[in-house]
Amino acid sequence: MSIEPPEGLAKYPFLPEAREYLSAYGFTLDQFSDPAYKPILERAVARVTRAIEGGEAAEPWEIEDKVAELASFPLAVVLVASTGDRFLARRFALAEAVVAQRLLNSEDEGFVLDVARRVFGMDVEREERTVGGIQYRFSMGLADYLRSASKFNDPTWKLVNRVVDRGRVLVEARELVRLLRDRIEERVLRLVEEAGRERPNLPQPLLQEVERIKSMIPRREVEEASIKATARPEAWPPCMKEIYGRLVGGESVSHFANFAIASFLLNTGVRPEEVVSIYSQRSDFNERIARYQVEHIAGMRGSRTRYTPPSCEKMRTNGLCIENGRLCGPVKNPLQYYRRKLRELKKKEGGEGD
């Protein structure tokens, strides 16, 4: 590995060598009460602020003090963990990974390959070939590629659209860096979770920073109470309950699943702003984009057509039907299930009131 500390480590503080290098300094959390360490604390807080404000749009910055840059990373991890906020943890991991992705795109390919193989154990090899005008630089083992790329919505990642040769998938340099970004994000999130489990005792100046950070986290309540009042979730079909649960848990789902839940809820009378609130738990939440998409589905923009949810058949094709419809009886559309169930519920409630 050719990175010379501390420049490379300051840029990629999640690397195992960074931890080793820092341990030589023997920093302790109590030291951050000392004004001499203020630049490190300030940089750590700036890292967290960059994540809150930028999320997926976070940009690399000028590195002035390499040691402060490097040491600010584990300190920022501790600060994020101490807020106990899952959304912030995911957003911080996303921002750190996106910044690393931007920096890695300008690195030597040998360095990128080394990080992929040695640090993240990815099954990647050099393979310089041009096919159909595309310059491929690496190949990935099929299993590793599928594990990495299956969550992407863009059709270019689908296996049917890839060049596969003797069980290996050819990838471009930028694509490998994009796949690495997800591994980095996973690693940073794991570091935050570990720091959260350790629950270190923070000195007063750090506790103050944690409180300040908490006040910066945007309010992003899912408007569950009003959604429940309008839409009666107990009448939702299992497919919609599943997508909803994943979204409010902060998970990403496919474009198709996003469309399905949004169109379903809008057709049950849930207001667009309430639908937007469901996406607010995602670490890459961008309210402007989410609002635009939901309003489009609601028929408030463009063609002014309000979309209906996909049929059960389409849901099945997209792997979103639960247990192949066994729990639903003969329905053609999730909305049909909902209306039927709602009638049953109302009848029961009317009966109970007699």
Cα(261)–Cα(347) distance, integer angstroms: 26
CB of 235 to ligand SF4, least distance (A): 11
Asked, as a colleague might, if the bond just before 6 is cis with ω within 30 of 0, I would say yes
Using CB under 6 A, pick the residue from 291, 331, 339, 340 that binds ligand SF4.
331
Stretch that binds ligand SF4, among 171-179, 219-227, 278-286, 328-336 (CB under 6 A): 328-336
- 205, 33 Cβ separation under 8 angstroms: yes
For the window 59-98, what string marks contact with ligand SF4 as x by the rule CB under 6 A? ----------------------------------------
DSSP state of 105: T
Query: By C-alpha distance, which of 232, 200, 243, 259 is closest to 81?
Result: 200
Q: Which of residues 303-322 bind ligand SF4 (CB under 6 A)?
A: 312, 315, 321-322
How many angstroms separate the CA atoms of 273 and 47, rounded? 30
**Angle (deg, nearest 10), helices 173-198 and 86-104:** 150
Closer of 45 and 261 to ligand SF4 (Cβ)? 261
Closest distance between ligand SF4 and the C-beta of residue 223, in Å? 23
Give me the sheet containing 168-171, strands edge to edge.
Answer: 124-131, 134-141, 168-171, 164-165
Q: Which amino acid is at 79?
A: L
Task: Closer to ligand SF4 by CB, 319 or 353: give it.
Answer: 319
**Closer Cβ to ligand SF4, 128 or 344, answer by number:** 344
CA distance 55 to 88: 10
Site mask for ligand SF4 (CB under 6 A), range 227-256, x = bound? ----------xxx-----------------
First to last CA, the chain: 77
- Smallest separation, CB 296 to ligand SF4 (Å): 23
Q: Using the rule CB under 6 A, give the single segment among 56-64, 119-127, 141-149, 324-332 that binds ligand SF4.
A: 324-332
Among 209, 283, 337, 341, binds ligand SF4 (CB under 6 A): 337
Q: How far is the CB of 263 from ligand SF4 (least distance, A)?
A: 13
Among 55, 74, 196, 325, binds ligand SF4 (CB under 6 A): 325
Nearer to ligand SF4, 138 or 264 (CB): 264
Residue with token string 């994000």: 185
DSSP for 281-306, written as a single string = GSTT--HHHHHHHHHHHTTSSTT-PP
> Alpha carbon 173 to chain centroid distance?
22
- For residues 105-164, which are near ligand SF4 according to CB under 6 A? none
Q: Any contact of residue 210 with ligand SF4 (CB under 6 A)?
A: no
Q: Is the peptide bond before 330 cis (omega within 30 degrees of 0)?
A: no
Residue numbers at the binding site for ligand SF4 (CB under 6 A): 237-239, 312, 315, 321-322, 325, 328, 331, 334, 337
